[in-house]
Structure 1
Amino acid sequence: MKRKMDRKDRKQPIFHFLKKMQSLHLFLYPVIGVILFIVLYSNVEPDTFDAKLFSVSDQTIYAPVTVVDKEMTEKRREEAAESVEDQYVLKKEYADNSVDLVESLFDAIMEASSNAEMSSKEKLDRLKSSLGDMYDKYPESVYTSLLSANEGQLTLAKDAVVTAVNETMSEPIPAEKLEEARNKVKERLQNVNLPDKIRSAAEEIGRSAIISNYVFDPKSTDEKREEAKEKVQEVQIKQGQIIVEEGQLIDREVYRKLELLGLLDNKYTFQPIIGLFILVLLVMIYLAYFFEKEKNSFFTSKNQSLLLFTIILAITLTVMKIISLFQKMDYSHIGFIVPVLMGVMLTKLLINDRLAFVTSIIYAFCGSLIFNDGVTGTFNFTIGLYYLCGCIAAILFLGEHNVRSKILQAGLFVSAVNIVVITAILFIQNGIYSNLEIGSYFLMAIVSGVISSVLTIGLMPFFESGFGILSTMKLIELSNPNHPLLRKILTEAPGTYHHSVMVANLAEAACEAIGANGLLARVGSYYHDIGKTKRPRYFIENQMNMENPHDKLSPQLSKNIIIAHAEEGAEMLRKHKMPKEFIDIALQHHGTSLLKFFYHKAQENSDQPILESEFRYPGPKPQTREIAVICIADSVEAAVRSMKNPMPEKIEKLVRSIIKDKLQDGQFDECDITFKELETVAKILCETLKGIFHSRIEYPEFHEKKVKKT
């Protein structure tokens, strides 16, 4: 037995050891991050140019990003502020002050001249004492002339000067127009009926009372200038803007812009690298969440599925990166030819649909970065959209049709979708393209879809054999009745073939109800009794119109023949290099159950006690939910088929009895099936069996009448 197990282990897939490495997935997530970072690093690394001041540029340089030119913005704002004129304000209180000054002066003169007994000199001295420092503001002749006037003349002169000053200063008087305003006062006093000497003195007082009342307002000026600054928009160097054309002199302004954009070789920035690291980290987090939460029926370990995904991702990105090198040869749209669908279809067919959708987004993101030559920005959104639409189209087209013939059809379908997407992009861009350019785009779209299909078909066998993957496509192919082993069962043991088909129907329905792999249960059931083809007539379903050979054999010999079909079936499956899951089903579908009929028969024929262990299958017990369900369906189908009148109540009682016996016998101790799932299995099996063994109408017998010949 040990020799057989050793041979069995040698035939396991080369990645079988991964199941034992429980923490491998913790290592693979960083590996995925490193792969993404290495592949994308050169595409986000800032471009630098060896540009010398006052040299001639040997190429046209475009702005890779949009930046704010703070220096130019500040310069324009200062220019706007300087263009704002000084702000002035009319000080109306200045007119009141001047009028008060004139009135006070005339009041003092009138008071000094009111005493007739005083001499002119005494009056002048009194006026000087009354006015104080203000006395020196006017020539002494002004005071002398006014002190010689009578009260009426002084009153008239006062009123005339006050009126002239008030009218003149009611209007704005800037400093540069001060002399003009004073002349207006003189003109207004020309018509006053006063002696020339007194009028001249009044004019002198009026002129000196006029001051500039339209003064500079610093607060208002500052507000206007700040407002002018705010109206100036930021000066930006737009993404894609030409900084310097080929053959143009790199002057100080051009050099400053290159320096501002970080395009000079002495100005290296780590910001793009940090940004790429953050994006890669997000992708790793999304994948970690997906693989830790997702249940994948194709694998017993997430290590295998994650390693497979990592390899597919690495292959696809490597192909993408190699093709991107042709961008340097002015093939700016070479990204259209990348067979990116290969990675998505392999992911869908070998893992599942949900991960394929996630992978589509990853490839679109990577493609938009890898093929960013010839575009003004960091991301080539055209390629990203192209990849995303094509990948989603492939996933939706394949749907549940996981057969190899559909892969090529999917490639052709996606080629048509690629052409539609490219056409839409060209129309949206509203560019002018030659027929040769459009034709080359369409040709690359077709080649991309076809090559993706060819590579997918070519790589799938390597992944399936290397990882021991039993994919949906593989299961569908193995369910073909023309398979040599199925034809062997059909021709050599037709009863067993019919039994296997019935078990397959029951097991598939039950597995799908509990969330297990129904397709695996169905196809595995087709092969579970392949060992019976060694001695088909020793199994009751193949004993049609013949005596039972066990009637002439001892119970021990009969037991050996019956039990041997499990190991012999597993050996036949190994010989034909069938999937390990099928071998496990053949070995485990009876578990360690007891051959009750031959055990009791042996007890009846022997005087010595018979050990129960001698009449049990060697096992092992079912290790998975699918095998546990097949184990139940196998026993239920055989039992119901032997019933003479399979009524629904009897079927349900029998099904629950079989499940109860196997549960009590410990046949499900080594698999993760739950009591709730066993209850669901019982209900589904009863419903399916009731549909198979439904009541039929009894047709009356038709007796052929003899016709008398004439």
Structure 2
Amino acid sequence: MSAPGKIAQVKAKAGHGSSLDRIRTYSESAGFQRGVVAAVVLGALIIILSMALLPRKVDVEVGQPSKVDIEAPRDVVNRPRTTALQEEAGKQAVKKATSSPENYDISPAASINAEDTVDMIFGKAVAFRRLYAGSRGSENGITSGLIKPDEARKLASGLSDDIRRDTGVELPSSLLVPLLTVPLPDLEAARTGTKQAVGAVMREIRISRDDVPAARSAVEARLSAAGITPELMPVASAIAKSQIGPNLVLNPAKVERARQEAMQAVEPIMILKGQTIVRRGEIVTGEHVAILQDLGLLRSRVNYPGITGVVVLSLVFAGILGGYLYQYRRDIIIDPRLLALMGTLVILVAGLSAMISMIPWPRAPLLIPAAFGSMLVAMTLDGRLAIISSIIFGLLAGIMGGNALSVTVVSTITAITGAFAVTRVGERSDLVRAGLIVGAANAIAIAGVGPIAGDPEIIKSSYLGLVNGIGSTVLAIGLLPFLENLFHITTSIRLLELSNPNQPLLKRLLMEAPGTYHHSIIVGNLAEAAAADVGADTMLVRAGAYYHDIGKIKRPYLFVENQLMQDNPHDRISPSLSALVILSHVKDGVELARARRLPQAIVDIIMQHHGTGLVKYFYHKAQEANQDTVPDESDFRYPGPRPQSREAAIVMLADCVEAGVRSLSRPTPGRIEGFVRKMIKDQLTSGQLDECDLTFKDLDIVARAFVRVLTGIFHPRVEYPAVIAPKDKGIMSKEAQG
């Protein structure tokens, strides 16, 4: 291979390696890990909500037996049966409406048709007169009665036939003769009067079949007042009466309204949640398929609206929780470990809620352990965050519990109560108390919310509240150790366990380094009192103080508090070696703590309780031993780091103050206070407190707390003389021994 080819190959390998390094670096970055955690939690929440809220699909075919029992996942209307009942009710309503006169209106067309027919009959008479006059060559036959009676009777017969053919009205020819013989003005007057009378009656009077005789009498009365000549009155009356008939027409809007009202009045046939729709082996009908379609249980379609709703709901929950964390607890978002813990708790509550909601029992949602989640959030992360989480857990429980208001309210109240109940747990009995409080609150909430939500029978299930509360507490306590180990967190329960004197490390410290053990106990008392006054974590400082010097177990005899009047080995070794031994107890303590899987918070206190302080005694001793050269100060300093938290700083101050006060020859209250404040000032001026959150006000409070405790420990005691009893010479009293 040529030199340029080798160079290109080397560059390609280098580029490939750098790409892998970039990918590896990015995958190990906190930002990438946070994104993965958020995606996993959101995806899991969507899956759980989908399983709980979206019905499971089934495959059925009409006319074939069902392979499984199919139950309704929620209440639904039996649409086929309800529709059949509604249609039947609609038919009956239409039948009743058509027989009711109230649903009929006067038809405008009836009066128009009647008037047109009257006009046509009189018009035919005029046409016959014109035809006759034309045949005689005279127009007078049109306007004057010149037609002879015999000829008029002949014409009337044809006129009757013509009227019957075109209008369907039967009029005797003898009755029509006056129409051909009277003067035309009289005929037109009769025509107008008859037309108006008929139109008025047909427009103004509601005429049914039974009302026709009365209506014809009414039109006859109107004709009498119309000014019609006596000769034309009979024929005008006959024409008018022939056009009087039923003028009512059914109002379709009224009929439709009656039909709709009847259909709406039908109570829907309901299929309740948990009710069997079709049993295994039962032949599937069209009704079954329609019900399954309404429930969204058929595989034939994808439930896009349901999936969209679940995704939106999950995003809303994530947005609420994420917004609170971003605003008030950004440290949880920054730390992928804590973010994963919070997400895990949300998933646990959602998963338990989904599982319990699937139990085919109406009261099962009352067993959803919303308090389980809020208690764990309070014990592992933050009490305030637990309150916000309680709202989300309550909503999750309510949604998965069939969208029941009672379940939502009860679960929210219970979750908030659980968050408050475990905010400060100082003893194991506090956990029992928390369980009883949560159970009682749950039972009371069930009893109170039931009647408001329209379910008074729910009061009988109040005992489920007590079961839920105690069960939530048991679940929380049982899961807590796994969460502590998995996410490397420190809880008050864990600190409480570590503070137990029967812990193996503390028992070993007592047996192998008793002086260090008693020193640690006093440091714990000092630190706890100071932490309580400044609002720091009292349980953490107490446990941290108990374990801060466990590294001395490795070489206990090299530390003065454990020498018990024996020779001091440091008198026989060099100052630098002595300093190395003293400094190593921090490293040894960290290794021992990690080997025993102590919480990181305690490991940090062990590592930071001396900060970067100087072992002054041996440093000065080294200077005195070799005045020609200046010893390297770094060989006599603790590796640090300096205290990063208030708790670590308080343990540091308590440690140096307790050790120093023991060296006072006369520890009066005044001397104790002066010494305490001097020691705190020395640590402050040396920069050991620069990286923690203690303020000057806090330091003053810490000093006063130390003085209060130390004054109680080193209080002056009355010196009792050794009294020798006359009969028991040589035996000192108990007071003299003490």
What's the TM-score bracket when you normalise by the shorter of the two chains?
Answer: 0.5 to 0.7
Q: What is the match of residue 60 of structure 2? A: 50
In 2, Cα distance between equivalents of 1:240 and 1:48: 18
Selected match of 1:86 from 104, 107, 110: 104
Deviation at 1:621, TM superposition (A): 1.7
Q: 2:655 aligns with which of 624, 634, 647?
A: 634
- In 2, the alpha carbon distance for the partners of 1:517 and 1:408 equals 22
| Residues 62-461 of structure 1: pairs in structure 2 closer than 5 A | 64-66=74-76, 83=97, 85-88=103-106, 139=176, 141=178, 172=205, 174=207, 181-183=215-217, 199-205=230-236, 221=251, 224=254, 228=258, 231=261, 238=270, 240=272, 259=293, 262=296, 264-289=298-323, 292=326, 295=329, 302-308=335-341, 349-353=379-383, 398=422, 400-401=424-425, 428=455, 430=457, 453=474, 460-461=480-481
CA–CA distance in structure 1, aligned partners of residues 185 and 312 of structure 2: 98
For 2:584 and 2:282, how far apart are their aligned partners in 1? 89
Code of the residue aligned with 2:55 in structure 1: it is E
Write the deviation string for residues 299-354 of structure 1: whole angstroms up to 9, x where unpaired. 997322343455666678778888999x6xx8898889999987776555444555
- TM-fit CA distance, 1:533: 5.9
1:37-67 Cα deviation digits (max 9, x unpaired): 4445444235445241699999787594546
Give the conservation status (yes or no) of the 8 Å contact 2:558–2:568: yes
Within the candidate set 703, 713, 735, 1:686 is matched to 703
Over residues 7-32 of structure 1, what are the superposed CA-to-partner deviations in whole Å (9 max), with x where a residue is unaligned? Answer: xxxxxxxxxxx997453232122222
Aligned 8 A contact 2:442 2:468 in 1 = no
Sort the Cα spacing of 1:627 and 1:393 in 2 relative to 1 into closer, same or farther, 3 A: closer
Residues 102-161 of structure 1: CA deviation (Å, up to 9, x unaligned):
xxxxxxxxxxxxxxxxxxx999765689xxxxxx99956258568999xxxx9xx99x99
Across the two proteins, how many residue pairs are aligned to each other?
A: 628
Q: Distance in 1 between matches of 2:204 and 2:262?
A: 35
Could you list the per-position Cα deviations for residues 358-401 of structure 1 after superposition, in whole angstroms to 9, with x for gaps in the alignment?
7777777777788x8xxxxx668898888778766765655533
Return the offset for 1:183.
4.8
Q: Which has the higher contact order (CA 8 A, sep 6+)?
A: 1
Of residues 49-58 and 595-604 in structure 1, the stretch that sits farther from structure 2 once superposed is: 49-58
Task: Classify 1:483/1:207 alpha carbon distance in 2 versus 1 (closer, same or farther; 3 Å).
Answer: same
Query: Which aligned pairs between 1:525-536 and structure 2 lie closer than 5 A?
Result: 525-532=545-552
Q: Are 1:608 and 2:628 an aligned pair? A: yes
Determine if contact 2:176/2:235 at 8 Å carries over to the other structure.
no
C-alpha change, 1:173 and 1:601, in structure 2 (3 Å) is: closer
Q: Which runs of 5+ in 1 are unaligned?
A: 1-17, 102-120, 130-135, 373-377
1:583 positional shift: 3.6
Instruction: Tell me, in whole angstroms, the C-alpha distance in 1 between the residues paired with 2:287 and 2:106.
Output: 38
Instruction: Describe the shift of the 1:551–1:57 C-alpha distance in structure 2 as closer, same or farther (beyond 3 A).
Output: closer
1:28 is matched with which residue: 22, 25, 37? 37
TM-superposed deviation, 1:172 = 1.4
Do the aligned partners of 1:536 and 1:542 also contact (CA within 8 Å) in 2? yes
Alignment TM-score, normalising by the size of structure 2:
0.61
The whole-number CA distance in structure 2 between the counterparts of 1:423 and 1:34 is: 36
- State the alpha-carbon separation in 2 of the partners of residues 251 and 561 from structure 1: 88
| Structure 2 residues without counterparts, runs of 5 or longer | 1-26, 120-137, 147-158, 164-174, 728-738
Aligned mates of 2:286, 2:569 — CA distance in 1: 106
Structure-2 residue corresponding to 1:520 = 540
AA aligned opposite 2:105? Q
Tell me, in whole angstroms, the C-alpha distance in 2 between the residues paired with 1:252 and 1:525: 75
SS of residue in 2 equivalent to 1:87: strand
Aligned-partner Cα distance in 1 for 2:533–2:35: 33
Look up the equivalent residue of 2:230 and give its one-letter code: R
Matched, 1:478 2:498: yes
Aligned AA (1:141): P
Partner of 2:587: 567
Distance 1:74 1:274, change over 3 A: farther
Aligned partners of 2:378 and 2:423 also within 8 Å? no
Contact 1:344 1:356 in 2 (8 A): yes
Aligned to 1:4: none
The one-letter code of the counterpart of 2:699 is A
Deviates more, 1:646-655 or 1:274-283: 646-655
Cα distance in 1 for partners of 2:185, 2:415 equals: 113
Q: CA RMSD in A?
A: 6.5
Q: Which of these residues, 616, 641, 648, is aligned with residue 621 of structure 1?
A: 641
User: Could you tell me how far 1:504 is from its partner in structure 2?
Assistant: 3.1
Describe the shift of the 1:300–1:556 C-alpha distance in structure 2 as closer, same or farther (beyond 3 A): farther
Distance 2:473 2:517 in 1: 39
Provide, for residues 161-210 of structure 1, a one-character-per-residue CA deviation record: whole Å limited to 9, x for no partner. Answer: 99999997896164866676445565799999x9xx96343344466567
Residue 686 of structure 2 aligns to a residue whose secondary structure is helix
Q: Does 1:662 align with 2:706?
A: no
Q: 2:366 touches 2:465 (CA, 8 Å); kept in 1?
A: yes
Tell me the amino acid that sits aligned with residue 563 of structure 1. L
Change (3 A) 1:189 1:555: closer
Are residues 19 and 350 of structure 1, via their aligned partners in 2, closer, same or farther at CA, if it must alter by over 3 Å? farther
Distance 1:332 1:561 in 2: 69
Q: Distance in 1 between matches of 2:106 and 2:67?
A: 52
